[in-house]
A and B are shown apart, each in its own frame.
Chain A
Amino acid sequence: MDTNIPVPVKKRPNGLIKGLGTFFKDIYKIHLFILRFFKEAFLPPFEFKEVVRQCYEVGVRSFTLISVTGFIVGFIFTKQSRPSLSTFGANSWLPSLVSIAIMRALAPLVTALIASGKVGSSIGAELGSMRVTEQIDAMEVSGTNPFKYLVCTRVLATTLTIPILATYTAFIGLLGGYLNISLNEGISYTAFVQQFFSPLVFLDFTASLIKSIVFGFTIGIVGCYQGYYSDKGTEGVGKAANGAVVTAMFLVFIEEVIIVQITGNFR
């Protein structure tokens, strides 16, 4: 073979421009993906059975981990807060401090982070693998709308289930906190519960619920987006799972900051 033939070099955009182009293209695609969700999720035919099945899957997948994590968070937070309050002789405020921390921030946040890891990665990998093995195409050619069946059901399931799991985490965190306090201060459960709820106002519950709904939606939509548009090949499945976790966790923290700022204005 003659190696002296000059190879035509195609002029390609440099890395930064290409990177920016990909970034804005992705933003546009995510935007369309979310719009499509709202367009299709609330129009018949509804996939009630699949939504219920997915809710069960989301709940079951995260239940054990959330139980353990919620309990540990409540227990450790109480333990770590005690010395600071003791300095001011304010040990009696411990239940109130725990309640504010758990209800306003820890329960929704911990639940969302656990669910990002467990549920988000699982959704990303599942849809990614379905894309790679042409199962999504198979659904499409058999007259089924795969977006409605796979994406809408999963996003609705996470949006509905994460708030329930966050409420459960708060309850388990409360138990963890109570155990620590009862071991150290010997307070009764009734007194603890009274003090736990006394500083809480309606806004705390509402804000926590709104946060959990937003987190649930984010985890679902990010997991589905990553999986639904994953690259061909097994590498694409890994990337989808990883992308689902990392992006969802990042967005959860950003949303936490934004929602705290907004709800802070109503206090």
Chain B
Amino acid sequence: MEKTKVNIDYNNKVISLRGLEKSFEDYTVLRGIDLDLYQGENLVVLGRSGSGKSVLIKLISGLLRPDKGTVEVLGNDVLALNDRQLRELRIRIGFSFQNSALYDSMTVRKNLEFPLVRNRKGITRKEINTAVDTVLEAVGLSQTINQMPAELSGGQRKRIGIARTLILNPEIMLYDEPTAGLDPITCIEINDLINEVQQNYKTSSIIITHDLTCAKMTGDRISMLIEGQFQRTGTFEEVFDTDDARIKPFFDYNFIA
């Protein structure tokens, strides 16, 4: 399915990273990252495994702290926020984990209720039920409401993971490898869901992936992360219109739907 045109406000940056550097002991992962995400945009970050893609979105959400640089999200300097302020900001950011990270000990309903009950004080049972039903319907999994995460397939777990973030109506979505480990058909369903979320929930998203089909289907703009730096940024065609030996094989060895 081709990506539908969406309205992107290029005057409004929702995420702005400058000079971001991050190392783990002797291993430098990110070497001076500059990145802007605009209101309503889906930005895909492509790169090989271990290139620091997941580290990048963990820095944005404040799960990790950079060694150098600045992280500005929705007008907030993430590094200057205290714990309470960071929690308040995180409510406005949805994070879809690579392995879904559903709470094993809770049913799908409890998983979805969990962020809502904890962040919306005074919410009634009726409002909770309505919100749960709405997001489950949005991801097309209303029938799984009383199931445990262990009873769900990989694709269903991804969808429920996304639903759990949508329940708080986030302004930004961060997807970590949304199609990793899924069959091609389910991958396309997840890609469609990412586009639906962008259109229906008016989110701006960063999608971390090494799946070119996902990049092509969901990305308004693509950035190629190689050796800790963005080497090329642009539309899908612009990024891969190159003879760069570090980028070309990425395209050649991928199957494009």
Give chain A's interface residues, CB within 8 Å of chain B.
Answer: 10, 129-130, 133-135, 137-138, 140-145
Asked if residues B118 and A134 are in contact (CB atoms below 8 Å), the reply is: no
Asked if residues A135 and B63 are in contact (CB atoms below 8 Å), the reply is: no
Q: In this complex, what residue of B is CB-closest to A47?
A: B118
A128 CB → nearest B CB, Å: 13
Asked if residues B63 and A137 are in contact (CB atoms below 8 Å), the reply is: yes
Q: Does B246 interact with chain A (Cβ within 8 Å)?
A: no
Q: In this complex, what residue of A is CB-closest to B61?
A: A141
A-B CB proximity, top 8 nearest? A138-B101, A142-B115, A134-B101, A141-B95, A143-B91, A143-B119, A143-B87, A134-B97
Selected from B26, B90, B99, the residue in CB contact (under 8 A) with A142 is B90
Which residues from chain B contact A134 at a C-beta distance below 8 Å?
A: 97-99, 101
Which residues from chain A contact B99 at a C-beta distance below 8 Å?
A: 133-134
Which residues from chain B contact A10 at a C-beta distance below 8 Å?
A: 26
Of residues 1 through 38 on chain B, the ones whose CB sits less than 8 Å from some CB of chain A are 26
Asked if residues B83 and A143 are in contact (CB atoms below 8 Å), the reply is: no
CA distance A140 to B114 in the complex (A): 12
Which residues from chain A contact B104 at a C-beta distance below 8 Å?
A: 129-130, 133, 135
Q: Does B212 interact with chain A (Cβ within 8 Å)?
A: no
B10 CB → nearest A CB, Å: 27
Sample 18 A-B pairs with CB under 8 A, ordered by A number. A10-B26, A129-B104, A133-B104, A134-B101, A135-B103, A137-B97, A138-B103, A140-B90, A141-B61, A141-B63, A142-B119, A142-B168, A143-B91, A143-B119, A144-B87, A144-B114, A145-B83, A145-B87
Of residues 76 through 133 on chain B, the ones whose CB sits less than 8 Å from some CB of chain A are 83, 87-88, 90-91, 93, 95, 97-99, 101-104, 114-115, 118-119
A227 CB → nearest B CB, Å: 14
Q: Does B164 interact with chain A (Cβ within 8 Å)?
A: yes
Q: Does B165 interact with chain A (Cβ within 8 Å)?
A: yes
Selected from A129, A144, A145, the residue in CB contact (under 8 A) with B115 is A144
Given known A-B contacts A140-B90, A144-B118, A135 and B168 have beta carbons under 8 A apart:
no
Of residues 45 through 80 on chain B, the ones whose CB sits less than 8 Å from some CB of chain A are 58, 61, 63
Which residues from chain A contact B119 at a C-beta distance below 8 Å?
A: 142-144
CA distance A130 to B149 in the complex (A): 13
Which residues from chain B contact A143 at a C-beta distance below 8 Å?
A: 87-88, 90-91, 115, 118-119, 168
Asked if residues B83 and A141 are in contact (CB atoms below 8 Å), the reply is: no
Most buried by B among A10, A133, A137, A143: A143
CA distance A1 to B140 in the complex (A): 53
Which residues from chain A contact B164 at a C-beta distance below 8 Å?
A: 138, 142
Which residues from chain B contact A130 at a C-beta distance below 8 Å?
A: 104
Which residues from chain A contact B97 at a C-beta distance below 8 Å?
A: 134, 137-138
A116 CB → nearest B CB, Å: 22
Q: In this complex, what residue of B is CB-closest to A135?
A: B101
Asked if residues A141 and B103 are in contact (CB atoms below 8 Å), the reply is: no
Asked if residues B63 and A142 are in contact (CB atoms below 8 Å), the reply is: no
Q: In this complex, what residue of A is CB-closest to B105?
A: A126
CA distance A137 to B93 in the complex (A): 13
Asked if residues A140 and B63 are in contact (CB atoms below 8 Å), the reply is: yes
CA distance A255 to B182 in the complex (A): 51
Asked if residues A133 and B90 are in contact (CB atoms below 8 Å), the reply is: no
CA distance A133 to B93 in the complex (A): 20
What sequence of 0s and 1s flags, for each residue 214-250 of chain B, a beta carbon within 8 Å of any chain A beta carbon?
A: 0000000000000000000000000000000000000
